[in-house]
Amino acid sequence: MSDSKYKQNNTGLNSIAVHTGTIRDAFGGVNTPIQSSTAIEYFTGNGNIPYPRNFNIPNHDAVSKKIAALEGGESALVVSTGMAAIAIGILAITKPGDHILMQNNIYGGTRAFVDILREKHNINVTLISSMTPENLAQYVTKESVLLYMETPTNPLMEIIDIVPITQWAKDHGIITMIDNTFASPINQRPLELGCDIIMHSATKYMAGHSDLMAGALIGNTAYIEKCRKLSAIYGMSLNAVDLSLLERSIKTIGIRVQQQNANALEIAQWLSNHPRISKVHYPGLPSHPGHEIAKRQMSGFGGMMSFELAGNDIEYRDAFLQKLELISIATSLGGVESTITIPTQTSHYIVSIEERNALGIHDMLLRFSVGIEDAHDIINDLEKALQ
């Protein structure tokens, strides 16, 4: 087998998405072959014997190179789920007694992991509602080792200004890690904004077809090697078939996300003029409080938004959802098909009602993952159901 001759000198994200990492077999096919063997011949006993759980199989090499290149990082590790990436990504650089500065408004599963960090690992986590250097300075301690953030946030699409935060963290010798799932590397490249580590739920935009789960970590090679060793012990590897499916899917991430960006902007503008919608949260709208920052740090505003139905009538909400035909009421996000969720029943179900209220997440709020269908068909579906 040999690496694709096309891997060199790719600078455009679409060229990287299509070509980088591809491994050719003797037959010359343009796709990395699936190597699903778990028994693999080896000739040296140097401790890194080929075994899928050790992340040293060709399908892992191929897709991890592609993901690292898309984010402009040195190395990447692809694990079984986004949550596995979050858990390993944090555990690889913390020890009991350490302190983490973490954004308060984060993915629900990450928030649940904070309880485990506190209770089982004796790691102190401060959840911070306003991520600004001034505010962080109030909470930093000499045990602070990691700053964790997510932007745009789920489900309210708040935008965190990344550059001042990473600069502040560098001045304090604190490592920064960002969940870049919502933006995808097509719309936001956090390493260029000073972040040290990126994590992705590759289940979402990277996989893009709502048919596999994966997670990714991107960072310098020494860090990724630490994550690899730990993930091998915890058994968080992804199988060759799904690694291959992920590699295939990422080839179209550029054109998928561009279509989602365009659709979402058009739909957000339409929704914000609709009398039955009281509020639209989309960073592409000039009315969004994070719009100016998003324009600076993102190259597209993404396919995720949320909106609030006017009033307080849960029966109207459910009738609206039931009338939708093209748009599915379904968890997850980032797929080619448009989906809507009710955050109080899904991502934030495990978050207490008090915390939810503090975050502004209530029952009339709907999170919308815009697909790649034609915008006018999506709008027609919404229009009909809102009647």
Ligand X SMILES: *Cc1c(COP(=O)(O)O)cnc(C)c1O
User: Does the footprint of ligand X cover residue 201 (CB under 6 A)?
Assistant: yes
User: Does the footprint of ligand X cover residue 179 (CB under 6 A)?
Assistant: yes
Single out the residue of 16, 147, 213, 253 in contact with ligand X (rule: CB under 6 A).
Answer: 213
111 catalytic per annotation? no
Q: Token pair for residue 76?
A: 């990447």
Q: Token pair for residue 295?
A: 């324009």
Strand order in the sheet with 304-309: 277-281, 304-309, 365-369, 339-341, 328-329
Instruction: Please check whether residue 183 is in contact with residue 257, taking contact to mean a CB–CB distance below 8 angstroms.
Output: no
* H-helix segments, 159-309: 162-171, 184-187, 221-234, 240-250, 253-272, 291-297
Which amino acid is located at 337 in the chain?
Answer: E
> Residue 354, SS3?
helix
Q: Quote the strand ranges of the chain, DSSP E.
A: 2-3, 23-24, 75-79, 99-103, 124-128, 144-150, 175-179, 197-201, 215-219, 277-281, 304-309, 328-329, 339-341, 365-369
Cβ-closest position to ligand X: 82
Sole window of 51-59, 94-102, 179-187, 287-295 interacting with ligand X (rule: CB under 6 A): 179-187
Single out the residue of 52, 58, 82, 283 in contact with ligand X (rule: CB under 6 A).
Answer: 82
User: Does the footprint of ligand X cover residue 154 (CB under 6 A)?
Assistant: yes
Single out the residue of 204, 281, 348, 356 in contact with ligand X (rule: CB under 6 A).
Answer: 204
User: Does the footprint of ligand X cover residue 144 (CB under 6 A)?
Assistant: no
CB of 109 to ligand X, least distance (A): 5
Single out the residue of 33, 50, 72, 109 in contact with ligand X (rule: CB under 6 A).
Answer: 109
- Number of helices followed by number of strands (H, E) in the chain: 14, 14
Q: Token pair for residue 90?
A: 């944090």
Contacts of 294 (CB under 8 A, 6+ apart): 152, 159, 283, 284, 288, 301
316 catalytic per annotation? no
DSSP 153: P
User: Does the footprint of ligand X cover residue 182 (CB under 6 A)?
Assistant: yes
Sole window of 140-148, 177-185, 222-230, 376-384 interacting with ligand X (rule: CB under 6 A): 177-185
Sole window of 77-85, 157-165, 310-318, 354-362 interacting with ligand X (rule: CB under 6 A): 77-85
For ligand X, give the closer residue by CB, 182 or 320. Answer: 182
For residue 306, the cross-strand partners are: 281, 367
* H-helix segments, 72-150: 82-91, 108-121, 133-139
> Residue 347, SS3?
coil
Candidate list 107, 148, 205, 223, residue with the active-site label: 107
User: Does the footprint of ligand X cover residue 341 (CB under 6 A)?
Assistant: no
For ligand X, give the closer residue by CB, 201 or 339. Answer: 201
204 catalytic per annotation? yes
User: Does the footprint of ligand X cover residue 188 (CB under 6 A)?
Assistant: no
User: Does the footprint of ligand X cover residue 257 (CB under 6 A)?
Assistant: no
For ligand X, give the closer residue by CB, 109 or 133. Answer: 109
User: Does the footprint of ligand X cover residue 215 (CB under 6 A)?
Assistant: yes
How far is residue 321's CA from residue 300's CA, in Å, rounded to a whole number? 28
CB of 259 to ligand X, least distance (A): 20
- Here's the x/- map for ligand X, 230-249, by CB under 6 A: it reads as --------------------
Active site (catalytic) residues = 53, 107, 179, 204
In the complex, the residues that contact ligand X under the rule CB under 6 A are 81-83, 107, 109, 150, 154, 179, 181-182, 201, 203-204, 213, 215
